[in-house]
Structure 1
Amino acid sequence: METFALLFSRNPFLIRFFQTLTFAAVFLVTIPHSFGQKEVGNLAFTVSMEDPATHLYHVTFRCDGIPGDTLSFKMPVWTPGYYQLMNYAQQVQNFQATDGSGKPLKWDKTANSRWKVYPKQTKSVTLTYDVKATRNFVAGNYLDENRGYISPAGVFLYPEGQLNHPLTVTLKPYAKWSGPIATGLDSITGQSHTFVAPNYDLLYDSPILMGNLEQLPSFTVQGIPHYFIGYNLGNFDRQQFMADLKKIVEGSVAVIGDIPYKHYTFIAIGPGGGGIEHLNSTSISFSGEQLETRAGKNQLYNFLAHEYFHHYNVKRIRPVELGPFNYDQQNRTRMLWVSEGFTVYYPYLILKKAGLMTEEEVFGALQRNVASYENKPGHRFQSATQASFETWEDGPFGRTGDEAYKTISYYSKGPVLGAMLDFKIRHETQNKKSLDDVMRALYQTYYQTQKRGFTENEFWAECEKIAGTSLRELFDYASTVKEIDYPKYFAYAGLAIDATPKDVPGSWLGISFTEKVDSLLVTEAEWESPAWKAGLRKGTVILKIDGQKADVQALSALVKTKKPGDPVKLLVLQNDQPKEITAVLGKKSERSFKITRLPNPTALQAAILKAWL
């Protein structure tokens, strides 16, 4: 979130979910803003929701003592962790501005996400507005009779030039709700449902969940409390789940060796909706029913470990471009393959060492990452650094439509590069150092000491310093589309990886589809497949196959009975026009990238594999 946001629905290994509660003491490391802002005046929000069936939050924003004959108020166009433009301002309704005595003030909406207010001589300005909240998503806002979720960037306006100003937020939950309020914000002692933020960066990093919520038994790690609060959690063994979650947190902390917050909350917003990381919380979609199967549990635990580990990798160990933020436009970086990709890789090891994943499951997870990247044509066109930089246009999983074949996902290539970098460092240092040492060095040097993010050059310099050798080849693998020598790097850890192409049984047309009553709807045509070359694209409707009604049986018979090189006549509907085309069937070849132990590892290979797992 991207942090990780639609991963739940698009990637089985990266799911995201959770949070709820009011605390009386919260850390929160602040990233200082760079705009020379002066902390003058007082900023206070009140959010009410008297009729949640309308899906409207009512916001009152009082600004006292902010100087200027003209004040500009802005709403972010995105939220950190989800690298897509959100157009939050579109949901703002009924905007009004008044002075300290309640008299209307002149105002204009001068841009999509900017309102200008003309306060004249008054030192107090009050804004009131409603926010439509209908998107049940961790980067969106939602409100109904059962719960309310606030993604702060989409609710709270900021005075231009005052992002570093402290502020308070008072919540007035719906009267029929019985649950606590979950947020990473500090509460103010003696003031009901009132919270304080030292600046807007912290406010926008602190989602809020209210409603009929359930709080699971908390646990501590190194004396620090960890909470899990959510809506509609489902049926599962809560005690076992929290015991497992504690192991995930402990394993993550062991990598870095420091806990930089005073409490942490998993905020579960309900089924569906992705996940986004924050400094001392994570918002996640969650359903306990997923724990009923081994595969479902693996997906969920990898997702939770991913979102939790993000509080280190991307929130604190971060590219320099990711904070302080510009909320008016995209914040681009070439390093999401590290921030997101490594945060896919680390949960495999954390869960393995916690006894929550087996060796075979770790191998299988990495195998799927490699295959997802290599068996799609995008690896010929887009590097990991390009995918990172262009995610604002492409999306976290690459483009869709006719140009989908030109892109990759840093969620697939990133964890593989992380594993290879880890193996290389272990090999070059005789198993004395690993990627863990790089992560700790970045954390200590840039987050703790210099209190900033790292540049791309600084990242590679730290890696080479710890490895004690040049890592130019790995740099090229990240920044170009150079073919990767997987066997070389996996062998460092005593592992074999099957990169040999093998023919897939049967003939090949190259489409994915959904079945309609009397036709097939193409949902994807593989690049340079027989279907692609014949002109089939996503959205094409296939009416007949060799004169027969197009259905699953006809397509299955075609693949089984026809040979590569045989023609197939298809009657299709494109742009509402019938058309007859001929596709010449082919033979598909794929590499499995199955990962296994080498039969006769050297002493160093065996030692690296043992330490790695």
Structure 2
Amino acid sequence: MDAPIRAWDAIMKHLSLGTALAAALLALPLSAPASAQDIRPAGNSAPVEQQLADQTPLPSDTAWPGGTISLDIDATDTVRGIYRVTETIPVTGGMRELHLLFPEWLPGNHAARGPINLVSGFQFTSGGKTLEWTRNPLDVYEIIVSVPQGAKNVVANFVHTSPVDGSEGRITMTPEMLNLQWEKMSFYPAGHYTRRIAIKPTVKFPAGWTAFTALDGQRRSGDTVTWQTVDYETLVDSPIFAGKYAKQWQLDPAVKLDAIADKPKYLELAPENLAHFEKLIDEADALFSARHFDHYDILLAMTDTMGGIGLEHHRSAENQYEPTALTDWDAMDWDHNVVSHELVHSWNGKFRRPSDLWTPDYRTPMQDTLLWVYEGQTQFWGWVLAARSGLQKKQTFLDAFATYAANYAEGQPGRAYRSVEDTTHDPIINSRAPLPYSSLSRSEDYYVEGALVWLEADQIIREGTNGAKGLDDFAKAFFGVRDGDWGELPYDFDEVVSTLNGVYPYDWATFLTTRLYGVNQPAPLRGLNMAGYKLVWKEEPNSYDKGRMGGYNYTSLTYSLGVNLTDNGTVSSTLWDGPAFDAGLVDGSQILAVNGTAYSKEAIMDAITAAKGTKDPIELMVKRGDAYRTVKIDYHGGLRYPYLEKTGEGEQGLDRLLAPRTGG
């Protein structure tokens, strides 16, 4: 009975309950209630479960004794979207079983999302003879292969099938380009840290294609490319973008911009806009005062055919822009942020990583509780660096943060019961799938609400130091240590707090705990207000909302009717307790007519405007499945879109935060 008592004691201390109450709780009898068997009719069968052997075994920080694994991938079948893989794993004498793991817990995904369902056609051989294999029923990511006596290696042949339709998953291969992610098409031997497993990669590409990656030692023979032997962790951290149409720009001696595109015309980048990418690197250096890479590749796909992505790596990042984002620079300003966000991750997330998110392999479960630092502060710095470098206009920053602020001020009733910290579990809980009422359930708010909390922290420091310091100083002290080190340096909550206190003494533990771990908190607008701006409403969409609506073909009426609509009037999201929700509109319903006129974006926006200040409801003809009905919405507030507006004259705190730190 010791274990339950120790657990209760730990809980009482953690919750800081009074001594008397804690003692009373600890004194409660630990007897169990009557079991179900006690109340079942006599004679019914009642099996008893045995303890499952499903505890995740920790790997050893030792090298794979077999030697270097060879990984050969044929990526030429772009018509069918197939990667054909041959992996040769050396084994040692006396080994009777080879336990191979498919990467499950993927860095940057914050969840167990390894797509083993896309790997098929397994065949294992040794010395030309087919070997038997089975799958571990308690860990379906583990394949157990029988090894014959005297075998020197096991050869695994299989295929990884890229989805060929978006409904099947993210498309990674098209006739014009591919995104090869090593962890999606390889196994590694169990029992060892992945950084201790040596692997030699080779890929055959379609004829004439250019391949970009952060891997070193590239050698090309025809269309087959090899790289130097590398540890498996670094391999997984070094994906490939390759394409028929490709272009590379040198941003500084150690940083490159590597772009592929659906068509060559999408690779035209004006010199004045290339300068913003160059300045982004300068601004990142000024912010962190250190680098955690020896060289870095910004991998960028200009596409609407290959699946979208924004994924961080130590010496590179996978990024996707809409096809015209380089050529139609100003109009696509809203789409430029992912590059700065993923660049920041080289410092925050890859080098500095929460202790519970660092794992020695891709089988050990990740714990996401500090994602409000990992992603929240990256969201903050990604936007700040985009504005400082001109990669995005300052107005785009203001409009994006107005949209963020509005969501928490009026668009998310789920904040009443669920904390920001609890949303850090969402990558595991929900796997980023659509939700019927995301405004109630919340989603991964550690990104955006986290960024607003860090904005408030910045303003607290600036106010307390009379402008002498800000969150920039925290970034240098926390992320800018050990220049040139591109290993991993884990941290915990206490180190975050102590570093903040080193910049400016304040009760940071209470501040962070209240803002991020508390529920039903006020909307996180204080940082904006301290920085000299306030949230206001206008009848026209701001530039960020307008760009996103045009890019993704939807109409946002969140703060008027309480819905978002596709081009044909189908409801794609519904605000919990909003006017449309109260009228019974749900996702999937299609608006066919507005006040007796066929649905169009203009028709519904005109109807909302016309109803402002009147008593007449907005009348909609709605189809849901095979049923048609008339819905009347009693809303009279007009169109409402969020903006940030200065509260004082001259330069304000937010203006100073966004000002460039480098010349030119």
Interval of TM-score (by shorter of Structure 1 and Structure 2): 0.7 to 0.9
The within-5 A match list for 1:14-29 is: none
Residues 1:524 and 2:573 aligned together: yes
Q: Which amino acid aligns with 1:72?
A: H
Aligned to 2:518: 480
Contact 1:140 1:150 in 2 (8 A): no
Aligned to 1:70: 97
Which residue, out of 158, 163, 173, partners 1:134?
163
Q: Which amino acid aligns with 1:88?
A: P
Contact 1:74 1:158 in 2 (8 A): yes
Aligned to 2:202: 171
Q: Which amino acid aligns with 2:588?
A: G
- Report the Cα offset of residue 248 of structure 1: 0.5
User: Judging changes above 3 Å, is the alpha-carbon distance between structure 1 residues 341 and 544 closer, same or farther for their aligned structure 2 residues?
Assistant: same
Which residue, out of 146, 165, 169, partners 1:118?
146
Residues 1:105 and 2:136 aligned together: no
Aligned to 2:423: 387
* Structure 2 Cα separation of the partners of residues 228 and 352 of structure 1: 22
* Structure 2 Cα separation of the partners of residues 246 and 120 of structure 1: 56
Which residue, out of 184, 207, 210, partners 2:214?
184
Aligned to 1:260: 292
CA distances 1:356-397 after superposition (whole Å, capped 9, x unpaired)? 55554443343233223323124334332222222333456x
User: Judging changes above 3 Å, is the alpha-carbon distance between structure 1 residues 302 and 583 closer, same or farther for their aligned structure 2 residues?
Assistant: closer
Aligned to 2:501: 464
Residues 1:206 and 2:211 aligned together: no
Contact 2:608 2:636 in 1 (8 A): no
Q: Structure 2: which 5+ runs fail to align?
A: 1-57, 541-556
Q: Structure 1: which 5+ runs fail to align?
A: 1-32
User: Judging changes above 3 Å, is the alpha-carbon distance between structure 1 residues 118 and 240 closer, same or farther for their aligned structure 2 residues?
Assistant: same
CA distances 1:67-100 after superposition (whole Å, capped 9, x unpaired)? 631112121235322345545211212211111x
Q: Which protein has the larger Cα radius of gyration, Structure 1 or Structure 2?
A: 2
Which residue, out of 40, 51, 61, partners 1:36?
61
User: Judging changes above 3 Å, is the alpha-carbon distance between structure 1 residues 62 and 591 closer, same or farther for their aligned structure 2 residues?
Assistant: closer
Q: Mean Cα displacement is larger for which, 55-64 or 37-46?
A: 37-46
Aligned to 1:9: none
Contact 1:421 1:474 in 2 (8 A): no
CA distances 1:267-287 after superposition (whole Å, capped 9, x unpaired)? 223314122111001111235
Q: Which amino acid aligns with 1:382?
A: R
- Report the Cα offset of residue 503 of structure 1: 10
User: Judging changes above 3 Å, is the alpha-carbon distance between structure 1 residues 529 and 299 closer, same or farther for their aligned structure 2 residues?
Assistant: closer
Which residue, out of 174, 189, 197, partners 1:159?
189
Aligned to 2:49: none
The residue matched to 1:153 in structure 2 has which SS? Answer: helix
Contact 1:140 1:154 in 2 (8 A): no
Contact 1:380 1:406 in 2 (8 A): no
What CA RMSD, in Å, does the superposition of the two structures yield over aligned residues? 3.9
- Report the Cα offset of residue 127 of structure 1: 1.0
- Report the Cα offset of residue 533 of structure 1: 1.8
- Report the Cα offset of residue 293 of structure 1: 4.5
- Report the Cα offset of residue 460 of structure 1: 2.3
CA distances 1:439-489 after superposition (whole Å, capped 9, x unpaired)? 222235699699531112321232233221113234312222444476754
* Structure 2 Cα separation of the partners of residues 585 and 597 of structure 1: 30
* Structure 2 Cα separation of the partners of residues 534 and 558 of structure 1: 16
Which residue, out of 327, 347, 354, partners 2:382?
347
- Of structures 1 and 2, the one with the larger relative CO (CA 8 A, separation 6+) is 1
The within-5 A match list for 1:170-569 is: 170-174=201-205, 176-187=206-217, 193-196=225-228, 198-221=230-253, 224-232=254-262, 234-272=266-304, 273-287=308-322, 289-293=324-328, 295-296=330-331, 298-324=333-359, 327-328=362-363, 331-355=366-390, 359-377=394-412, 378-394=414-430, 400-408=435-443, 409-443=445-479, 451-471=488-508, 472-484=510-522, 489-490=527-528, 492-493=530-531, 495-498=532-535, 509-514=561-566, 516=568, 520-542=569-591, 555=604, 559-560=608-609, 562=611, 566=616
- Report the Cα offset of residue 596 of structure 1: 1.3
Contact 1:498 1:594 in 2 (8 A): yes
* Structure 1 Cα separation of the partners of residues 567 and 574 of structure 2: 15
User: Judging changes above 3 Å, is the alpha-carbon distance between structure 1 residues 329 and 529 closer, same or farther for their aligned structure 2 residues?
Assistant: farther
Contact 1:45 1:62 in 2 (8 A): yes
* Structure 2 Cα separation of the partners of residues 485 and 550 of structure 1: 35
Contact 1:428 1:469 in 2 (8 A): no
User: Judging changes above 3 Å, is the alpha-carbon distance between structure 1 residues 59 and 469 closer, same or farther for their aligned structure 2 residues?
Assistant: same
Q: Which amino acid aligns with 2:401?
A: L
Q: TM-score, normalised by structure 2?
A: 0.74
Contact 1:427 1:608 in 2 (8 A): no
User: Judging changes above 3 Å, is the alpha-carbon distance between structure 1 residues 352 and 513 closer, same or farther for their aligned structure 2 residues?
Assistant: closer
Contact 1:317 1:439 in 2 (8 A): no
* Structure 1 Cα separation of the partners of residues 459 and 469 of structure 2: 10
- What number of residue pairs does the alignment pair up? 569
* Structure 1 Cα separation of the partners of residues 456 and 365 of structure 2: 30
Q: Which amino acid aligns with 1:528?
A: D
Contact 1:508 1:587 in 2 (8 A): yes
The residue matched to 1:366 in structure 2 has which SS? Answer: helix
